[in-house]
A and B are shown apart, each in its own frame.
Chain A
Amino acid sequence: MKQTFAIAIGGAAGQGVATPGDIFAKMFSRRGLSLNAYNAYQSIIRGGHTLLTIRTGPEPVTNMGDRIDLLLPLNQDTMDRHLKLLRSGAACIYNADTIKPGAAAEGVQLCPLPVSELADISRNKVAQNTLAMGAGLNMMGIGFAALEEVLREQFKKKGEAVVEENVGVARAGYDYAAAHFTPFPNPLPRTDKRYAVLSGNIAMAMGGAAAGVKFYCAYPMSPSTGVLHWMAAHARKAGIMVRQVEDEIGVINMTIGAAHAGVRSMCATSGGGFALMSEGLGMSAMIETPVVVIDCQRAGPSTGVPTKTEQGDLWQMLGAAFGDYPRLIAAPLDIADCFQLIPEMFNLVDRFQCPGLVLCDLLLSEGRLGVDPKDLDFNPVIHRGELILPLDGKGGNGNGASATTASNGDYKRYKITESGISPRAVPGVPDHIHTVATDEHMEDGVLISDEFTNPIKRRAMMEKRMRKVAGIEAAVPPPTLRGPRVADVTLIGWGSTKGVIEEACELLNEEGISANQLQIRWLVPLHGEVILELLKDARHTIIVENNYSGQFARYLRSETSFVPDGNIRKYDGEPFMPHHIVEAVKEQLAGKTKLSVPMHEIMV
């Protein structure tokens, strides 16, 4: 088992859980440690209960893990809820003035801090947090300089006095721990690696900037709002027009309008907003104007649990908008993939002139991961497809697409071609004037829906659009199996569960149960034949997903007739932890059940 270390910081919303979280994250990543952070919170601005888990280690950390090594309760409620989760070797640092510990398991170190003796709490309201950070750092075996550096940055704007005050308080906590508490046995090492720590939302926003997105708009909706925040804050530097719109219907239509003018356009929302966008997606498909729409899934139906995660929007995506049309749907596998998927998706939608849907979820959108900066490539390949742009006054179009081509007035926007792709001229190009319509139309764009509806022409246009599906299938790589070709158990997941399933496989292998993994990134196209081939020799297959009905299992069955030996599902709003999967696999291999629904032990 690789070395990891997890800190959990809990308190009420507004009590300052985020700041120590950010500081620990910075210290770890600057030490060359990988990290994964997950914040369990509720839809409340002040109060409630928030638990931030930061797990770090010298090797890639892909999920929140199973174990809390250090608990920092900022209030009594956190102590009462979570002390019982700690196992032998773990520690809990708390304010001895205000918080009473409960019964702890054997081998758990209780570390009371006499906060009012160590700091002037009348001046510094978050002194307990700063003291606890200093004490925790000492116990992890990290030198004080790491904390001092980050504190100086953090409080620089508030002036020298505040900086000195906080450094002093942190130092007091650090020294107090050295004198009174037992350090953890394995100090956190230092490596030469460098990490950028970011959320999936920031990753998708930056991925958009890298892809050349020039227009982004949104209506605020958790958990997608982080994309809007990054875009808005960086719009002027990145040269992106960012708008907040009156509703998601306006969002998708504005996005399509900008895309139609010839720029790459993107929007993000969650399930409820996506529901409002579905008619617009049909327009994108019908007029063949490409857009990328991100859905950050949260627990539904309806308003649901706005701050909790789920993989429950798959069938909404598959069925979004009426009628048949080509579309792409992909679920990013981790936070680095949130970045990389966006330019990839844009190249495909530009080439095939159809909507592309990114099926993210709260776990990735709001979780944070240490990512190697090399994986955040702002120079990805950009292919705009068969796009005809007007010249800018400087004799070029600066956009990597073909320049204006002469036309003798015979330009047909929806020219019937073998690939189904027709060259797309945007408004402003001379000699290519045409009207696009959401009504069915002929090659030149003229409607066939109103007068003299023509079944032959309708069929030809349907087939033209749908021929793009074959091209899309050929352009997207099929999934691959991770681990041995044949194993005792094959775990099948999609999107954000990649990391936790990976770790479950490692744990199973350590216990003598060989396990491999099939993680699906592209949902449309699915590559059903390849999946069947990969699973043909599997001894025991289990589909793992974060929803009630097995949305992916049902989809896979509908496309391939494949039925797994068992399912592991979770729909309590919280993500899987590795042991949930390990224990479920063991009970299923023992023949106890075919459907496991692990219980989430952390009450948040």
Chain B
Amino acid sequence: MATGVQRATQLTIADLKGRVDPDWCPGCGDFGVLAAIQKALVELQIPNHNVVAISGIGCSSNLPGFINTYGMHTLHGRALAVATGLKLANHELTVLVTGGDGDGFGIGGNHFIHTMRRNVDLLYIAMDNQIYGLTTGQTSPTSRIGMKTKSMPFGNIEAPVNPISLALAAGATFVARGFSGDQKHLTDLIKQGIEHKGFSFLDVFSPCVTYNHDNTYQWYRPRIKKLEDDPAYDATDWTAAIEKSLLWGDEIPIGKFFERTDVPSLHASEPVLNEGPLLHRDARVPAEITRGFIEELM
């Protein structure tokens, strides 16, 4: 991902504090994601006016209001489409997309798949809590079978989507999973995702302390196992990544599942952008070219 060549004098965590404090419930996993994003931006020293945080709608989608970068708090499920347009118009910007599992895998599922196959150069962080929070606790696309919620009071009977396998199948060139309760590890994954040139998908377990009493910090801690701790694991091996993505239950892998660097990003594939960002182009098409457009019709 283009990080902008110029470095701010010295970007600090304080510089990245938003105009208002987060209004998430005390203990919400989203605090950890916000903190890790801020740490990653400070460690990478990306000028905050060159960063755009784009979200959909939902608890986690309020994030752009809580960080001092440019932000767009868009429509439910549409953040990736908005982000694609923005990135293509000015590919020098660093684009972070954040949102929840309902926003990204439910209402926004179509854009999720197509943004991955296009390899748009941005980092998409799904703050996955397996529940709809802002609408006060309904089943989400990642809720487990049997989970009881207000919308499925007798238990969910629909199989959940596996975001990691889906991302791998859709052609994402960077696929990782983090845990809001492990800041150091999560910050490192965010840094890698920002620096990856192409679409980076980061699914983050971000527990909902109010509505999801199944997938809690205490439930995750004994189960998660870092892929980085296995010296034999090769994150360039797509088949191995698929196999790991299927693990769930007593052992849940987190870390970088997969990365490939041989696929050019969307903006790098389009010759129209060879001369630099569209934003800096002259509005006028040169007269010798427009004359040709009319002559074709005569």
What is A's interface to B at a CB cutoff of 8 Å?
Answer: 29-30, 194-198, 202, 206, 209-212, 214-215, 217, 234-243, 245-247, 249-250, 253-265, 279-280, 283, 287, 373, 376, 378-379, 382, 389-390, 392, 394, 397-400, 426-439, 444-447, 450-451
Contacts and interface: CB of A to CB of B under 8 A. Distances in A.
Nearest 3 CB-CB pairings of A with B: A257-B85, A435-B71, A212-B283
B294 A241 contact: no
Contacts, number: 230
B70 A253 contact: no
Contact of B293 (A209, A217, A437): A209
**Residue of B71, B83, B281, B293 with most partner-chain A CB within 10 A:** B293
Contacts of A427: 49-50, 52, 70, 86, 90, 93
B114 A429 contact: no
B73 interface: yes
Interface string B47-59: 1111011100100
Interface in B26-55: 47-50, 52-54
B271 to A, nearest CB: 6
Interface in B267-291: 270-273, 275-285, 287, 289-290
A261 B65 contact: no
Given A283-B75, A431-B49, A439-B73, A250 B114 contact: yes
Nearest to A450: B23
B254 to A, nearest CB: 29
A436 B298 contact: no
A435 B89 contact: no
Interface of B: 18-20, 23, 47-50, 52-54, 57, 62, 64-65, 68-75, 78, 81-90, 92-93, 110-111, 113-114, 270-273, 275-285, 287, 289-290, 292-294, 297-298
Contacts of B287: 378-379
B280 A397 contact: yes
Contact of A437 (B23, B73, B92): B73
A438 B272 CA distance: 31
B82 A256 contact: yes
A238 B289 contact: yes
B70 A433 contact: yes
A242 to B, nearest CB: 8
B86 A196 contact: no
A237 B289 CA distance: 7
B86 A257 contact: yes
B191 to A, nearest CB: 21
B90 A428 contact: yes
**Residue of A195, A214, A243 with most partner-chain B CB within 10 A:** A214
23 contacts: A210-B290, A212-B283, A215-B88, A236-B271, A237-B289, A249-B81, A249-B110, A253-B74, A253-B81, A254-B82, A258-B85, A258-B88, A265-B85, A376-B294, A378-B285, A382-B284, A399-B283, A427-B52, A435-B19, A435-B65, A437-B73, A445-B65, A447-B20
Contacts of B289: 237-238
Given A197-B297, A436-B71, A447-B65, A212 B284 contact: yes
B22 to A, nearest CB: 11
A127 B168 CA distance: 55
Given A379-B284, A399-B281, A431-B49, A257 B84 contact: yes
B59 to A, nearest CB: 10
A392 B90 CA distance: 11
Nearest to B50: A428
A389 B279 contact: yes
A263 B50 contact: no
Contacts of B293: 206, 209, 234, 237-238, 378
A287 B55 CA distance: 14
**Residue of B50, B287, B289, B297 with most partner-chain A CB within 10 A:** B297
**Residue of B57, B83, B89, B271 with most partner-chain A CB within 10 A:** B89
Given A253-B82, A397-B279, 19 more contacts: A235-B272, A245-B81, A246-B114, A253-B78, A257-B83, A261-B90, A261-B278, A287-B72, A378-B293, A379-B287, A394-B280, A427-B52, A427-B70, A427-B90, A428-B92, A434-B71, A435-B18, A438-B75, A447-B20
Contacts of A242: 272
Contacts of B92: 428
Contacts of B110: 246-247, 249-250
